[in-house]
Amino acid sequence: MFEWVSVERKMPTNLLEYTIPLGKPEILQEGKDITLVTYGSCVREAQKGLDLLKGFDVSVELIDAQTLMPFDLEGVIVNSLKKTNRLIILDEDIPGGASAYILREILEKWDGYKYLDAKPVTLTGAAHRTPFGSDGDYFTKPNPEDIFDCIIQMMEDTFPKRF
């Protein structure tokens, strides 16, 4: 038999003070080789993946989309793409989920396709239901090693003699 226990939690004191601007992505790390766009919990995974790149000559511009609706009202991401000419979208959702929406916004709304020198890549969760437990997350959602591999693969495809 289950017994429900009520846990009292304090209300945050900064509810009206902590805000993010809607539709304005944040550039978390400047870069010149690849634009990596993500949001939510994938930001931490992306940062861990970029830490694995230390010692490699790769400069990644990491952008936190912050909000999906509205999405990038000022063209922050396409301005990054003009500089890097390569795009990776990281999302823990299934293929065709939010990553497809983000890609559509960048390529169609902002004409980002004009600035691509390589095929854009969406790095997403696996196309199956997430198993329970931390192992399920590890094998279902993109992890730092997946991010590292994706970046290196894109650089190898673009600069085969350099990598």
Q: Residues 84-141: pLDDT tens digits?
A: 999 999 999 888 899 999 999 999 999 999 999 999 999 998 887 766 666 666 668 8
Tokens at residue 31, please? 């870069």
Among 8-12, 81-85, 152-156, the least confident range:
8-12
Q: Where are the domains of the chain?
A: 26-158
Among 4-13, 64-73, 138-147, which stretch is predicted with the lowest mean pLDDT?
4-13
158 pLDDT above the threshold of 70 = yes
For residue 156, what are the CA distances in angstroms to 127, 150, 159? 26, 10, 5
- Per-residue model confidence (pLDDT) at position 40: 94
Write the pLDDT tens digit of every residue in 102-112: 999 999 999 99
72: left (phi over 0), alpha (psi -120 to 50) or beta: left
| Alpha helix positions (H), 52-91 | 76-84
The pLDDT of residue 4 is above 80: no
Stretch 18-28: mean pLDDT, rounded?
91
Q: CB atoms < 10 A from the CB of 78, how many?
A: 20
Identify the residue with better confidence: 129 or 14: 14
Tally the residues of the chain. 163
pTM: 0.86
- What SS3 class is residue 107? helix
pLDDT of residue 15: 78
Cα 59 from Cα 37, distance rounded (Å): 14
Distance CA 81, CA 109 (A): 14
Round to whole Å and give the CA distance between 56 and 43. Answer: 21
pLDDT digits (tens, 9 = 90+) for 33-76: 999 999 999 999 999 999 999 999 999 999 999 999 999 999 99
CATH 3.40.50.620 matches 26-158: no
